[in-house]
Amino acid sequence: MLTITRLALREIHLALKEPFRISSGTISQRRVCLLELQSADGVVGWSECVAGEQPNYSPETIDTAWHAIREWLAPRVLGQEFAHPGDVFAALDHHVRGHLMAKAGVEMGCWDVAARQQGMPLSRLLGGTRDRVPTGISIGIQRTPDALVERARNAVAMGYRKIKMKIEPGSDVAFVGAVRDALGPGLHLMADANSAYALTDAGHLKELDPFHLIMIEQPLDREDLLRHAKLQRLIETPICLDESITSVDRAADMIELGAGRIINIKPGRVGGFTVSKRIHDLCQANGIPVWCGGMFESGVGRAHNVALASLPNFSLPGDVSPSARYWERDIVNPEWTMDDEGMVHVPLHAPGFGVSVDVGRVDDLTVRREEWRA
Ligand code: OSB
Ligand code: MG
């Protein structure tokens, strides 16, 4: 039985090693939202709410999530008995629209607590089967094609198994082409537009076809499933949806409409692990590959992503780069690393997500904290 009796929210600040630019904004410091959950039997689990600083990726921010957790979500779990962590999402979602990243933070923390209660690795409680997950890197928009080539070349040398390049109008065809020319036809290359294009750009996006990208992620607006379907009929590069997929039904819509051929699953974006697993299963049944996206998580959110990415249909490399890609120092021990084959290892020898939170360092970095008890 899972009963949460204490929930603490914290905000910590972590500076990225270098600023990261996507089509809708630049980020140089993360305001990370951490959740610490304690069960009636004294087990403590952790999670991270991945909402951003600005509402440029989704409508949520760390501040809206904090508000939602305090006002509507924490009261729905504190003191409640759940037979299984898979029941938590329905309790959070009932008559509360949206706020999926806030819901995910709470829900994923409950899964971690449940895994620790049962003495099981979180990966295995979720249905994970892999011991290692192939890793990709996401490279921000650079000033010149040469600068992007240089970044991509370094990433290949480090062993990354997939290179994702952020693109926007003016920094697309020439940039992608330069990387393909410099690094050869065998490299798993993809582009992510974060909704920077319109259907009227189809002719321009078709110029990416000769570079044989494994996919183009979210070219159009998050609401534009129908237009993605039209675009997919006009270009050969497979479309992967990120922002658009916020539920199992939206994934089903994508499949039925032909709006995309691949899904990037970010558990925060869809409300947590239970929905992620359902999307994973639906995609598996329909021959749609999935991979685990990233939101510049600290070592805590990364632990949740690695556990999820160990499920069998996560057949493409995930945005689960090692700690050193982002931070001078992470908040978990050991830090996340990647082996020279570009694989991150799934911790299978400890209950829960399998790395320990450096609570002293988290305390030092905390700028805001609030706690509720049943
Ligand atoms: O679109 O996948 C995205 C980061 C912030 C917001 C959106 C996205 C991203 C990334 C980062 O691509 C991937 C990572 O965490 O390494
Ligand atoms: Mg994306």
According to the model, what pLDDT value does residue 286 have? Answer: 98
Measured in Å, residue 371 CA sits from the centre of ligand 2 at 32
> 125-345 maps to which CATH number?
3.20.20.120
Return the ligand 1 atom nearest residue 194 CA.
1
- Asked whether 87 and 124 are in contact (CB, 8 A), the reply is no
Please confirm, yes or no, whether 166 is among the known catalytic residues: yes
Binned at pLDDT 50, 70 and 90, residue 130 comes out as: very high
Give the length of the chain. 374
What residue owns the CA closest to ligand 1's atom 1?
194
Residue with token string 């010149």: 144
Measured in Å, residue 39 CA sits from the centre of ligand 2 at 34
The active-site residue out of 162, 166, 206, 277 is 166
What does R_g of the chain's alpha carbons equal in angstroms?
20
pLDDT digits (tens, 9 = 90+) for 320-369: 999 999 999 999 999 999 999 999 999 999 999 999 999 999 999 999 99
Q: Which residues of the chain does CATH 3.20.20.120 include?
A: 125-345
CA distance to 130, 242, 286, per residue, from 282 (Å) = 19, 16, 6
Please confirm, yes or no, whether 164 is among the known catalytic residues: no
According to the model, what pLDDT value does residue 49 have? Answer: 98
Q: Which residues of the chain does CATH 3.30.390.10 include?
A: 2-119+355-373
21 burial level (CB within 10 Å; 0-12, 13-18, 19+): middle
Pocket of ligand 1 (CB under 6 A): 22, 57, 138, 192, 194, 242, 293-296, 319, 321
pLDDT digits (tens, 9 = 90+) for 221-259: 999 999 999 999 999 999 999 999 999 999 999 999 999
- Asked whether 85 and 2 are in contact (CB, 8 A), the reply is yes
* CATH class as words, domain 2-119+355-373: alpha beta
Measured in Å, residue 218 CA sits from the centre of ligand 2 at 6
Strand duo 332-333 + 189-192: pairing: unpaired
What is the percentage of the chain residues whose pLDDT exceeds 70? 100
Q: What is the mean pLDDT of the chain?
A: 98
pTM assigned to the model = 0.97
Peptide bond into 334 cis (omega under 30): yes
* Among 94, 100, 102, 73, residue whose Cα is nearest residue 4: 73
pLDDT digits (tens, 9 = 90+) for 281-308: 999 999 999 999 999 999 999 999 999 9
pLDDT digits (tens, 9 = 90+) for 69-124: 999 999 999 999 999 999 999 999 999 999 999 999 999 999 999 999 999 999 99
